[in-house]
Amino acid sequence: MSDYVVKIALVASIILMGYNISEFIASFKSVNKKIEDFLGLAKENAATESELRRSNFVLSCALSVGYSCLIYFSDVALWLVALIAAKLSLTLFLSDKFLIQILRDGSLSKKNYLVSKYDSLFNATVGFMFAVILVL
């Protein structure tokens, strides 16, 4: 594929890494503040649980598929593309699980907060690894 795809994939990997580092360093207090803001917006817009879950799934799935396609068209080994797709699928599953808990309980448990932190750390590592692979 063209050199442009590799450059776009490199930028996407750096964005993935940066976003997940910011999620990893977020404190429990700041996460709960974001949850309160999110629930306020959802209530203000009269969004139902199914609408919120659907929009979360569609957006997360589109971003995951887009990133996986960029990695695939960057001539990375197919088994690495399959690994990244599996990892992003796990993140999508966790995101939906956390969203359900937030919508039903109004907060995120400490256990799920820690799970999300480790998921973010692993996603940041994946973004860094693919950035290095694409540069080399």
Per-residue confidence in pLDDT tens, the chain, 136 aa: 578 899 999 999 999 999 999 999 999 999 989 999 998 998 888 888 899 999 999 999 999 999 999 999 998 889 999 999 999 999 999 999 999 999 998 888 999 999 999 999 999 999 999 999 888 8
Locus of tokens 């580092």? 21
- pTM comes to 0.86
Measured between its terminal Cα atoms, the distance across the chain in Å is 16
| Dihedral sign, Cα of residue 17, residue 18, residue 23, residue 24 | positive
Beta-sheet strands, E only, within the chain: none
Tell me the C-alpha distance between 21 and 71, whole Å: 20
Domains of the chain, residue spans: 3-135
